[in-house]
């Protein structure tokens, strides 16, 4: 399970979250509404409300109160008590849910603890960073907070979003569907104080049973600050078309920002589909890693026995599935340090097995000792590349981003996805010696280029000076938070 930080409210109690899941979803088609509750709409094989709950768990929230109304039994049967997910889930049934979501929130007034709580809508999807940004802001900003998006054009139906007008200091001074002048939209995620409940009561006397009506009164009484989440992905899933838009955004959120050229343009198109299937089958990321590794073993043996085409196809399929384990981890909120370590180690072993198989084939085919040297150089590049990135992170505290640092060298196909793509091309065409030689040359070239880049970076930002001029003193790395140990 991921390591999380427990964000505490002012009384030292872990901040609760309230999720409103009482609505009937009348804007969904009758067929879709009859099939399942809107909150249980599947996005990449997981219900939208589950995604929200797990995002909260990974942001430090330990107790979630789900307010139910329509289809309460289905919601409760699906979510359970949360023990298997590492979070406490409780339920409150709103008898007045048909009046509006404000009435549903009001039903939870006796269940929230402490001085602040998170409020979210069960039919909103948002990437995990969304909640983390809100919770980070809540640590330093007191009072009520609302997540706002200043650039809502990416929403499926931005005209349907609740509009928000802000002051120069970022406080809400106007909120509602019909605002003519506005500069952002309400994302449906809040940190609230109990002030919201008397504000809802005032809204009820006006005949307004919406959360927006309550926040409008609360804004006048105690203020409502904002957290800018512009640029983060989210969607209000009110219709089937909006669901499709949300699913596309989920896929985008799974793509690593450090993909190689082949991964970005080819592998991800396939791995995303495989990841959806893996999630539906409840597969773990480590199981996916082992499948990828098994295919690499089969590819290595195929090459060793001269079965080039099966070996080529299995090597590429192994590369594609190697991207799925991370996607499944992010989709199912199962990312872990152990999973990342296991995946990295299996990748190195997979490369070794594939290239050993290629080496056996090429040596038997040509009988040249030089061929074995070429294979060794091609194989040695992978662990050296990983070591360089690790040492760079230790020395600078920064992560090496190939998409930013490698420049035009990205087009040499010298990263792992590129190397295995070339293995496939060489196996399918019977030209493994040519593609392996190319891989050996570009691997050395990329490693050399990265060494130059690291040298420039460390020379410009750090210098080694002794902390004590006396003989035998130990030098420290000036310019970084801590010295990098050898």
Whether residue 379 lies inside any domain: the answer is yes
For residues 17-40, average pLDDT? 78
Q: Are residues 198 and 109 in the same domain?
A: yes
Q: Are residues 349 and 425 in the same domain?
A: yes
Judge whether 49 and 43 are in contact, CB under 8 Å: no
pLDDT (0 to 100) of residue 415: 85
Which tens digits make up the pLDDT trace of 91-140? 999 999 999 999 999 999 999 987 899 999 999 999 999 999 999 999 99
pTM, whole model, 2 decimals? Answer: 0.81
**End residue of a domain, out of 214, 249, 284:** 249
Three-state SS letters, 371-388: HHHHHHHHHHHHHHHHHH
User: Domain of 408: which CATH number?
Assistant: 1.20.120.1760
Q: Does residue 225 sit in the same domain as residue 290?
A: no
Are 360 and 313 contained in the same domain?
yes
pLDDT value at position 479?
A: 37
Give the SS3 label for residue 182. coil
Residues 265 and 236 in one domain: no
Predicted confidence (pLDDT) at residue 204 exceeds the cutoff of 90:
yes
Token representation of residue 357: 């198989």
Measured distance CA(388)–CA(204) in Å, rounded: 62
Token pair for 189: 């995620």
Q: What is the pLDDT of residue 72?
A: 93
Using alpha carbons only, what angle is made at residue 198 by residues 194 and 201, rounded to the nearest 5 degrees? Answer: 135
Residue 381 and residue 423 in contact, taking contact as beta carbons nearer than 8 Å: no
Q: Are 200 and 105 in contact (CB under 8 A)?
A: yes
Residue 464, pLDDT score: 43
pLDDT of 10 higher than 60: no
Q: What integer is the mean pLDDT of 197-203?
A: 96
Residue 301, in any domain of the structure: yes
Q: What does the alpha-carbon distance between residue 102 and residue 448 come to, in Å, rounded to a whole number?
A: 61
The tokens of 355 are what? 């290239």
Nearest to 122 by CA among 217, 56, 194, 176: 56
Q: Which tokens sit at 90? A: 């409780």
pLDDT value at 23 more than 80: yes
Looking at the structure, do residues 241 and 263 belong to the same domain, yes or no?
A: no
Q: Are 108 and 215 found together in one domain?
A: yes
Average pLDDT over residues 57-79: 94
**Are 370 and 415 in a shared domain?**
yes
Residue 1 has what pLDDT? Answer: 38
Q: How many domains, the chain?
A: 2
With cut-offs at 50, 70 and 90, classify the pLDDT of residue 193.
very high
Strands annotated E in 157-286:
163-166, 172-176, 184-192, 225-228, 234-236
Average pLDDT over residues 462-470: 45
Q: Which helix (DSSP H) or strand (DSSP E) does residue 228 occupy?
A: strand 225-228
Which pLDDT score is estimated for 3?
36
CB 56 within 8 Å of CB 87: yes
Q: What is the CATH number of the domain that holds 172?
A: 3.90.550.10
Q: Are 233 and 155 in contact (CB under 8 A)?
A: no
Q: What was the pLDDT predicted at 30?
A: 55
Residues whose CB falls within 8 Å of the CB of residue 139, separated by 6 or more in sequence, listed in order: 7
Q: Return d(Cα 72, Cα 389) in angstroms, integer.
A: 50
Task: Examine residue 1 and state whether it is found in any structural domain, yes or no.
Answer: no
Shared domain for 235 and 270, answered yes or no, is no
Residue 31's pLDDT is 53
More confident residue, 340 or 474: 340
Separation CA 459–CA 453 (nearest Å): 10
**What percentage of residues in the chain have a pLDDT greater than 70?**
90
pLDDT tops 90 at residue 430: yes
pLDDT-derived band at 352, boundaries 50, 70, 90: very high
Spell 164-199 as b/e; 16+ CB within 10 A means b.
bebeeeeebebbbeeeeebebbbbbbbbbbebbbeb
Mean pLDDT rounded to a whole number for the chain: 87
pLDDT for residue 480 is more than 50: no
What is the span of the domain harbouring residue 226? 16-249
Distance CA 203, CA 401 (A): 50
Q: Are 37 and 70 in contact (CB under 8 A)?
A: yes
pLDDT number for residue 267: 94
Q: Is the pLDDT of residue 165 over 70?
A: yes
Q: Comparing 63-77, 87-101, 285-299, 377-391, which segment has the lowest mean pLDDT?
A: 377-391
What span, in angstroms and rounded, lies between the C-alpha atoms of 312 and 319?
11
Helix (H) or strand (E) holding 64: strand 63-68
pLDDT for position 412 = 86
Q: Are residues 169 and 115 in the same domain?
A: yes
In the prediction, which pLDDT does 268 show? 92
Q: Is residue 476 part of a domain?
A: no
**Which of 43-52, 247-256, 328-337, 417-426 is predicted with the least confidence, judged by mean pLDDT?**
247-256
Residues 6+ apart with CB under 8 A from 119: 17, 18, 19, 20, 105, 189, 190, 191, 192, 196, 211
Task: Answer whether 394's CB lies under 8 Å from 482's CB.
Answer: no
Single out the residue in 191, 216, 249 at which a domain terminates: 249
Give the separation between CA 407 and CA 446, rounded to whole angstroms.
11
332 with 190, same domain?
Answer: no
The two tokens of residue 32 are 């879709």
Percent of the chain, pLDDT > 90? 66
pLDDT higher than threshold 60 for residue 262: yes
Which string of DSSP letters, residue by residue, matches 415-484? SHHHHHHHHHHHHHHT-HHHHHHHHHHHHHHHHHHHHHHHHHHHHHH-EEEES--STTPPEEEETSSSPP
Q: What is the CA radius of gyration of the chain?
A: 27
Residues 270 and 230 in one domain: no
Tens digits of residue pLDDT in 296-345: 999 999 999 999 999 999 999 999 999 999 999 999 999 999 998 999 89
Q: For residue 339, how far is the Cα from the chain centroid?
A: 15
Residue in 297, 176, 152 with CA at minimum distance from that of residue 230: 152
């Amino acid at each position: 399970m991921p390591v999380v930080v427990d964000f505490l409210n002012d009384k030292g109690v872990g901040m609760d979250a309230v999720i409103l899941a009482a609505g009937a979803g009348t804007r969904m088609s009758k067929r879709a509404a009859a099939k399942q509750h809107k909150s249980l709409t599947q996005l990449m094989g997981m219900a939208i409300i589950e995604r929200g709950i797990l995002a909260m768990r990974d942001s430090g929230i330990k107790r979630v109160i789900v307010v139910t109304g329509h289809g309460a039994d289905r919601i409760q049967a699906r979510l359970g008590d949360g023990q298997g997910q590492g979070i406490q889930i409780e339920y409150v049934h709103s008898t007045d849910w048909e009046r509006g979501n404000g009435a549903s929130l009001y039903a939870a007034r006796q269940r929230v603890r402490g001085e602040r709580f998170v409020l979210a809508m069960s039919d909103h999807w948002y990437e995990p960073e969304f909640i983390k940004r809100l919770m980070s802001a809540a640590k330093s900003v007191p009072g009520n907070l609302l997540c706002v998006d200043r650039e809502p054009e990416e929403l499926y139906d931005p005209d349907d979003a609740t509009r928000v007008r802000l002051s120069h200091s970022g406080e809400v001074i106007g909120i509602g569907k019909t605002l003519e002048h506005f500069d952002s939209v309400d994302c449906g995620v809040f940190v609230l104080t109990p002030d919201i409940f008397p504000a809802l009561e005032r809204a009820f006397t006006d005949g307004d049973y919406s959360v927006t009506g309550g926040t409008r009164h609360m804004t006048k009484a105690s203020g409502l600050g904002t957290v800018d989440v512009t640029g983060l992905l989210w969607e209000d899933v009110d219709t089937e078309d909006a669901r499709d838009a949300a699913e596309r955004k989920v896929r985008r959120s799974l793509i690593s920002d450090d993909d190689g050229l082949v991964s970005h343009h080819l592998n991800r198109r396939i791995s995303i589909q495989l990841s959806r299937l893996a999630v539906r089958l409840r597969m773990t990321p480590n199981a996916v890693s082992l499948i990828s590794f098994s295919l690499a073993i089969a590819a290595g043996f195929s090459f060793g026995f001269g079965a080039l085409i099966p070996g080529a196809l299995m090597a590429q399929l192994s590369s594609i599935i190697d991207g799925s384990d991370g996607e499944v981890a992010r989709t199912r909120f199962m990312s872990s340090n152990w999973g990342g370590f296991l995946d990295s180690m299996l990748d190195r072993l997979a490369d070794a097995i594939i290239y050993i198989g290629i080496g056996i084939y090429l040596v038997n085919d040509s009988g040249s000792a030089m061929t074995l040297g070429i294979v060794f150089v091609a194989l040695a590049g992978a662990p050296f590349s990983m070591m360089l990135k690790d040492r760079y992170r230790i020395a600078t505290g920064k992560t090496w981003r190939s998409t930013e640092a490698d420049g035009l060298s990205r087009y040499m196909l010298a990263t792992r996805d590129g190397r295995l793509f070339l293995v496939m091309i060489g196996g399918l065409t019977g030209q493994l010696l040519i593609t392996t030689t190319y891989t050996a040359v570009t691997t050395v070239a990329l490693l050399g280029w990265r060494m130059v880049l690291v040298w420039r970076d460390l020379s410009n930002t750090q210098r080694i000076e002794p902390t004590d001029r006396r003989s035998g003193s130990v030098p420290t790395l000036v310019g970084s938070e801590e010295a990098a140990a050898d």
